[in-house]
Structure 1
Amino acid sequence: MTTFTFSSRHLAVALLGGVLTLGLGGQAAPASAAPAATPITRANDALAEAQAELKARHPRRAIAALEDLKLYVGRAHRQAVDQIGKPPADPESDDPPGPPAVLAVVKLEHRVLLGLVPTFDGRTRTDVVDALRAVVRSSQHRRDVILDQVIALPAEGEGGDYADGMADTLSQYTQEVTLFTGALATYELSDGGRTGLTNGLARVLATQAKAEAAWGGGERRVH
Structure 2
Amino acid sequence: MDKVVIYGAGRHAELTAYEMKRNNLHEVVAFTVRNKYLNKTELNGLPIVSYEDISRIYPPSEFKMFIAIGPQQINRAREEIFRDAKEKGYQFVNCIWPILDFPEDLIIGENVYIGQDCAISNFVEIDDNVTLITSKIGHHCKIKANSFISASILAGNVQVEKNVFIGLGSIIGPNITLGEHTVVGMGCTISKSTDPESVYLNKATERQSYNSSKLKLL
TM bin (shorter chain): under 0.3
Q: TM-score, normalised by structure 1?
A: 0.27
Q: Which has the higher strand share?
A: 2
Which structure ranks higher in relative contact order (CA pairs < 8 Å, sequence separation ≥ 6)?
Answer: 1
For the pair shown, the structure with the greater C-alpha radius of gyration is: 1
